[in-house]
Chains A and B, each alone.
Chain A
Amino acid sequence: MNRIFLMLLLFVSLSSINVTGQAAKNDQCFICHEAIGDKTAQLYPKDVHFKKGISCAGCHGGDSRLEDMEASMDRNKGFIGVPKGNKISDACINCHSNEKTMKGYNSNLPTDQFDKLTKSVHGKLSTTGAELIVQCITCHDIHQIRSANDPSSTVYSVNIPKTCSKCHNDAVFMRTYNPALPVDQYIKYRTSVHGMLNAKGDSKAADCKDCHGSHDIKSATDIRSKVYPVNLPKTCAKCHSDKKYMSGYKIPTDQYEKYSESVHGIALLQMNDPGAPACNDCHGNHGSSPPGVESISKVCGTCHALNAELFSNSVHKAAFDKHNYPECESCHGNHEIITATHELIGINEGSSCINCHKEKDDPGFQAADLMRTLIDSLDAQNEFAAKLIYEAEQKGMEVSEAKFLLRDVKQSRFEARTLVHSFDTTKFNEGVRRGLSIAAEVSGEAKGAVDEYYFRRFGLVVSFILISVLIVGLYFYIRKIET
């Protein structure tokens, strides 16, 4: 039934394509409706479809050539009146999903928008259960549909945030679909760098569609979504890594490159750990903006809580604030954060400490030296214990207990590394000592196992000799009784 209807509509619409843009002039629907002051008809001349010569009948059906009202709006001739629900989008896809028809209008528009829409988060049934949540006109407007490149279009970059927020800002409406979804994206967006540029009419700044997609929007928790954590960096990089595109903005374009080699980028992009931070976890998403110098430790602290807490209570907090040094970033960098090695502290080249604590009699310089020595010794002890365990295992000894304890050494090492951020040598020393004492216990046990191994050999030699004595004795005894 539906198909017959569509074909009929197609026929009608094809027959109404009167080749030239002049068509509307012969469009009896338009002529009449405009004459009687119909508001929708008055809007239509600005519509891109009017300009392409498409009659009212293109969507509404009927015969636009006939002057007679009854005859032109005859339901038998395919007139459908005002379409409702999915019929609305049906009228659009009639042409927009048909490559041939679209070619006929010299259009290069893709023809898969509706297909994408039905697979998107908006392509589900609405609360009534009778239609999709979103129809084409929800975003593209009715009777005054413009090309997306037309600054007055509802889907022109600068206007998109408003268009989307029509629903997404409406708490009452949104809770009927997803009560947990925030409705403040628009407000946040306007505080972001993107949103502010957008408000100034910059169509290059990211709007909703640049991150979420347009017809194919997926829920952010959908693994195929452009904003799913694992996919997000690529989405941001689409613009931010494009030198030409970003040329007017005076910011670097190597963040993605740096990020993807950072400890976070490797965790997220290579190890697929969705818990690892993507761009938005530090910069915010809708309100995206580089974190301020003094808030870096708070942002990093959402995951690195202890480090941030220790730092905030340390002597460095006030000092950094005073000199306006970015907190974590000063030592760890930002996009290129690599796994922190012990090279970062101490007084050797490559250490961050000596950037400020340059003098030998500076207590900071001495503290840095001490901390480096301590953490290095813990590392060495940890390695030593692990080696001994390995050796014992290679000798076939059972050292599962020591191996279990080695976990605690590793944990202490973690803790000690965290304690660096207190920049308090007493506290740090305590932490390291704890690790060292467990490491000593582990080494002791592993050593015992290795010793046991040698004891076995010794025992073997003794018993071997004793039994051999008996063998020799027996040999001589047999000789004796046989002579």
Chain B
Amino acid sequence: MKKIFNKIYDWLDHRVDIQNVIQFIGKKYVPIHSHSVWYYFGGVSLFLFIIQVITGILLLFYYKGSADYAFESIQFIMSKVSFGWLIRSVHTWAANLFILSVFIHMFSVFFARAYRKPRELTWVTGVLLFFLSLAFGFSGYLLPWNQLAFFATKVGTDIVGSVPIIGEPLKIFLRGGEDVTGATLSRFFGFHIALFPGLFTLLLLIHLALVQRQGMSEPVEVEKLKPAEKKTMPFFPNFLLRDLLLWLIVLNVLAVLAVFFPAELGEKADLLAPAPAEIKPEWYFLFMFETLKYIPAKTLFIDGEVLGILLFGIGGVLWLLVPFWDKKSSKGLRNRTITYIGIFAIIFIITLTIIGFIS
């Protein structure tokens, strides 16, 4: 057994120089400090993304992306295909956990100022990946073509439509016409399974390559310590094994969620039916949705909704460009503003999400 393994290793090594890679990995160390726990959320996000890819491909075997069949094909998956319910429920739950994990990963990086020089590009690609994750969630939500998804998409794209100048054409582009119809479903299906995964994979590779190339960032205080005082752990196998362990726990959690709270299907979308009383977007959009409700209808000649979208847009751009305006952190100085901004953002998001759930 070992002989065969060695032979294969030698054969490969002769051709692609595996030795080099293994040496590289072997030299890679993960800093150990009191905030090391947060390092794991990048890995968990990656794991959940892999699960999404696998379950997504599996669902594709039976799913049909057209208004006539979408709902029925999911019904088919849930009832006729063995373990179809499990695959779909895992896909749904993993999507939610993925976004949650990405949130945590992002904020931990933010508070640790890990975006500071020289990791600006890692941050930018990371934030872009985050935006893409939201887009994944939004496009995937419509695919079961049920009543709830239909109206949530309608409301969601309507909000896009109120963006000045580009909003209306963008809305029409997203919907594939004036209204949410089967054409929208086809588009969202295309986005969800082809465009977004392609972009995501590309950005993810850059993101991971940068992490590997530059190593893990250390918090400012740890960075200042003398090399002798720093503690590290080998990435391979120690850290990777811990990663794996955590992934298995996440897998167990996913299985429990999928069995106890399987994904629902609801009623098939009826384009002519009146909107159900309570349309709420997915929880990760709730804080934005809720904010738009609380902005007064008119502020300084600007429509409340437009103002909200502009604010969120500006916020998003600022967030994306944090490493470029937070010069202090890059110079190794303390920047309390960043901490305040981060805390404010978290409190804001949590509060409005809770209000959104209650109301």
> How many of chain B's residues have a CB under 8 angstroms from any CB in A?
20
A456 to B82, CA, bound (A): 11
Contact with B along A439-483 (1 / 0, CB 8 A): 000000000000000001101100110011011001101100110
Query: Are B259 and A398 in contact (CB-based, < 8 A)?
Result: no
Question: In the assembly, what is the distance between CA of A467 and CA of B237, in Å?
Answer: 20
Could you tell me the distance between the alpha carbons of A464 and B244 in the complex, rounded to whole angstroms?
16
Residues of B within 8 A of A474 (CB): 241, 244-245, 248
**Contact residues in B for A477 (Cβ distance below 8 Å):** 241
Query: Which residue from A457, A470, A471 sits with its C-beta under 8 Å from B259?
Result: A457
Of chain A, the residue at the smallest CB distance from B233 is A482
Q: How far is the CA of A442 from the CA of B248 in the complex (A)?
A: 40
CB-based contact A400/B79 at 8 Å: yes
The A-B contact count (CB < 8 A) is 43
Taking a contact as CB atoms under 8 Å apart, the answer to whether B79 and A478 are in contact is: no
Q: A471 to B249, Cβ gap below 8 A?
A: yes
A396 part of interface (Cβ distance < 8 Å): yes
| Chain B positions 223-273 with a Cβ under 8 Å from a chain A Cβ | 237-238, 241-242, 244-245, 248-249, 251-252, 255-256, 259, 262, 264
In the complex the two chains form, is B245's CB within 8 Å of A460's CB? no
Mark contacts of B94-121 with chain A using CB atoms, 8 A cut-off: 1 yes-contact digit, 0 otherwise: 0000000000000000000000000000
Chain A residues near B353 (CB-CB < 8 A):
none
A464 contact set on B, CB distance < 8 A:
252, 255-256
Closest chain A residue to B261 by CB distance?
A396
Q: Which of A456, A467, A481 contacts B251 (CB 8 A)?
A: A467
Contact partner, A396, options B86, B244, B249, B264, Cβ 8 Å: B264
B78, B251, B252 interface centre (most CB from chain A within 10 Å): B252
B239 to chain A, nearest CB (A): 10
Kindly supply a per-residue 1/0 record for chain B positions 203-233, scoring 1 wherever the CB is within 8 Å of any chain A CB and 0 otherwise.
0000000000000000000000000000000
Q: Judging by beta carbons under 8 Å apart, are A398 and B245 in contact?
A: no
Q: B124: shortest Cβ distance to chain A, in Å?
A: 34
By a CB distance below 8 angstroms, the chain B residues around A481 are: 237-238, 241
Best-buried of A459, A463, A478 by chain B (most CB within 10 Å): A478
Q: How far is the CA of A478 from the CA of B237 in the complex (A)?
A: 9
B146 at the interface (CB under 8 A from A): no
Assess the B249–A460 pair: CB atoms within 8 A: no
Q: In the complex the two chains form, what is the Cα distance from A459 to B82 in whole Å?
A: 13
Q: Which residues of A contact B255 (CB under 8 A)?
A: 460, 463-464, 467
In the bound complex, do residue A398 and residue B75 qualify as a contact, i.e. CB atoms below 8 Å apart? yes
Contact B245 A467 (CB under 8 A): no
CA distance A430 to B251 in the complex (A): 55
* Least CB distance, A453 to chain B, in whole angstroms: 9
The majority secondary structure among interface residues of chain B is: helix
Please tell me the number of chain A residues within 8 Å of chain B, measured between CB atoms: 19
Residues of A close to B259: CB separation below 8 A: 456-457, 459-460
Q: Which residue of B lies closest to A458 (CB)?
A: B259
Shortest CB-to-CB span from B326 to chain A, Å, is 36
Known: A396-B262, A467-B251. A482 touches B238 (CB 8 A): yes
Q: Which one of A459, A471, A475 has the greatest number of beta carbons of chain B within 10 Å?
A: A471
| Cα distance A310–B244 in the bound complex, in angstroms | 75
Report B174 CB to chain A, min CB distance, Å: 32
Residue in B closest to A477 when the chains form the complex, CB atoms: B241
Q: For A398, A457, A459, A482, which residue has the most chain B Cβ atoms within 10 angstroms?
A: A398
State how many angstroms separate the Cβ of B199 from the closest Cβ of chain A. Answer: 32
**Contact mask for chain B residues 65-89; partner A; CB cutoff 8 A; 1 contact, 0 none:** 0000000000100110000011000
List chain B residues, Cβ under 8 A from A463: 255
Most chain A C-beta atoms within 10 Å of own C-beta, residue among B75, B262, B264: B262
Contact with B along A80-105 (1 / 0, CB 8 A): 00000000000000000000000000
- In the complex, what distance in Å separates the CA atom of A477 from the CA atom of B242? 10
A401's closest neighbor in chain B, by CB? B79
B78 neighbours in A (Cβ, 8 Å): 398
Q: Across the interface, which residues of B come within 8 angstroms of A478, CB to CB? A: 238, 241-242, 245
Return chain A residues, CB-CB under 8 Å to B85: 456
Contacts of A467 in B (CB 8 A): 248, 251-252, 255
Please give, as numbers and ranges, the residues of chain B lying within 8 Å of A400 by CB-CB distance: 75, 79
In whole angstroms, how far apart are the Cα atoms of A459 and B242 in the complex?
26
Residue in A closest to B77 when the chains form the complex, CB atoms: A398
Residues of A within 8 A of B242 (CB): 478
**Chain B residue contacts of A457, Cβ below 8 A:** 259
| Nearest-neighbor residue (CB-CB) of A471 within chain B | B248
Given A464-B252, A464-B255, A464-B256: A398 touches B79 (CB 8 Å cut-off): yes
Contacts known (A400-B79, A481-B237); A475 close to B245, Cβ less than 8 A:
yes
**Residue in B237, B245, B251 whose Cβ sees the most chain A Cβ within 10 Å:** B245
Chain A residues closer than 8 Å to B256, beta-carbon distance: 460, 464
Given known A398-B75, A464-B255, contact A470–B248 (CB-CB < 8 A) = yes
Q: How far is the CB of B238 from chain A (nearest CB, A)?
A: 7
Q: List, in ascending order, chain A residues with CB within 8 A of B249's CB.
A: 471
Residues on the B chain within 8 Å of A475, using CB: 245
Inter-chain CA distance A477–B75, complex, in Å, is 43
A461 CB to nearest B CB, Å = 9
Chain A positions within 8 Å of B237 at CB level:
481
* Nearest opposing residue in chain B for A397, CB measure: B79
CB closest chain-A residue, reference B242: A478
In the complex, what residue of chain B is closest to A461 when comparing beta carbons? Answer: B259
Chain B residues with CB below 8 A from A482, complex form? 238
Report A126 CB to chain B, min CB distance, Å.
45
**Closest-CB distance, A271 to chain B (whole angstroms):** 23
B233 to chain A, nearest CB (A): 9
- A474 vs B251: C-alpha distance when bound (angstroms): 15
Which of A400, A456, A475, A482 has the largest number of chain B CB atoms within 10 A? Answer: A456
Q: For the complex formed, measure the closest distance between the CB of B253 and the CB atoms of chain A, giving whole angstroms.
A: 10
Q: How far is the CA of A218 from the CA of B353 in the complex (A)?
A: 62
Q: How many angstroms between the C-alpha atoms of A471 and B247 in the bound complex?
A: 9
CB A450 to nearest CB in B, in angstroms, measures 14
How near does chain B come to A464, taking the closest CB pair, in angstroms? 6
User: Chain A contacts of B262 at CB under 8 A?
Assistant: 396
Bound-state CA distance A469–B255 (Å) is 15
Min Cβ gap A87→B in Å is 54
For the complex formed, measure the closest distance between the CB of B237 and the CB atoms of chain A, giving whole angstroms. 7
Q: How far is the CB of B43 from chain A (nearest CB, A)?
A: 14
A471 touches B245 (CB 8 A): yes
Q: In the complex, what's the smallest C-beta–C-beta distance from A436 to chain B, in angstroms?
A: 26
A471 CB contacts on chain B under 8 angstroms:
245, 248-249, 252
Q: Give the Cβ gap from A313 to chain B, nearest Cβ, in Å.
A: 45
Q: Which residues of B contact A468 (CB under 8 A)?
A: 252
Closest Cβ–Cβ distance, residue B256 to chain A (whole Å):
7
What are 11 inter-chain pairs, A to B, with CB distance below 8 A? A400-B75, A456-B86, A460-B256, A460-B259, A467-B251, A474-B241, A474-B245, A475-B245, A477-B241, A478-B242, A478-B245
What 6 A-B pairs have minimum CB-CB distances, sorted nearest first? A398-B79, A460-B259, A474-B245, A471-B248, A396-B262, A478-B241
Query: A-side interface residues toward B, CB under 8 Å?
Result: 396, 398, 400, 456-457, 459-460, 463-464, 467-468, 470-471, 474-475, 477-478, 481-482
Given contacts A468-B252, A470-B248, A474-B244, could you give 17 more A-B pairs where the C-beta distance is less than 8 Å? A400-B75, A456-B86, A456-B259, A457-B259, A459-B259, A460-B255, A460-B256, A463-B255, A464-B256, A467-B255, A471-B245, A474-B245, A478-B238, A478-B245, A481-B237, A481-B238, A482-B238
